[in-house]
Amino acid sequence: MKIAPSILSCDFSRLGEEIGAVNEGGADWIHVDVMDGHFVPNITIGPVITRGARCSTDLPLDVHLMIETPERYLQSFAEAGATFMTVHAEVCPDLMATVGQIHSLGVKAGVALNPETSLEEMDDVLGELDLLVIMSVNPGFGGQAYIPGSTEKVAEARRLLDRYGSPAELEVDGGVDANNAADLQSAGASVLVAGSAIYGHPEGPGAGVRTIREALLS
């Protein structure tokens, strides 16, 4: 199981140290939440801060694009050092073409689904994906409560990926903590994103990563 701390909940006046702390705690990826004020109500990180994150770590950067017309910005985030770029199915009329564009930039491609978006109609693109992201909150803000029905959706996504023989990573994003990590693992997730549970941990972000790791089934 991979753990991907979301820097959205970190102290941005100390970005490098905050990334260093989760690295020391055993994080596998760094999750970068990009929001545009259109697809979601919040505005957060752009390519400049993504580049700052890239310069702070050798860990893979998992760039989650919660933006409209992501095609316009893929090159910028690729140049900023993204390892994965994830677009939302809700804003991509031709998902296959967008995934192809990400691959042509030499970056791994992900697709994220909002809680209300069904896994149906994903069949065509599944074989092309490196990462499938199940949103377990409505995107826009860190610190929201986990939507319980998401666990069953993760299990359904796992069955679908297995049916297609897809090696894609299956990520869960939103409200993940030590209380639901083992259930998500049992449902077949391979990557857990956590922001507030890690950066809000009373003993610091390194302990936040370790606490989730310890909650997993061995």
Name the site residues for ligand DX5 (rule: CB under 6 A). Answer: 6, 8-9, 31, 33, 64, 137, 139-144, 173-176, 193-197
Task: Give the footprint of Zn ion on residues 37-66 (CB under 5 A).
Answer: 64
The question of whether 36 is a catalytic residue gets the answer: no
How far is Cα 133 from Cα 85, in angstroms, rounded to an integer?
A: 11
Q: Which residue is nearest to ligand DX5 (CB)?
A: 195
Catalytic one among 28, 62, 173, 177?
173
Q: Least distance to ligand DX5 from the beta carbon of 107, Å? A: 18
The residues with which 62 forms a beta bridge, in sequence order, are 31, 84
Q: What binding mask, one character per residue, do residues 140-179 give for Zn ion by CB under 5 A, x or -?
A: ---------------------------------x------
Q: How far apart are CA 47 and CA 81, in angstroms?
A: 9
Q: Output DSSP code: residue 149.
A: T
Q: State the residue for tokens 């069904």.
A: 118
* Residue among 207, 141, 154 at smallest CA distance from 180: 154
15-24 vs 205-215: helix crossing angle, rounded to 10: 30
Q: Is 11 a catalytic residue?
A: no
Nearer to ligand DX5 by Cβ, of 147 and 164: the residue is 147
The option from ligand DX5, Zn ion, none interacting with 76 (CB < 5 to 8 A, set by class) reads none
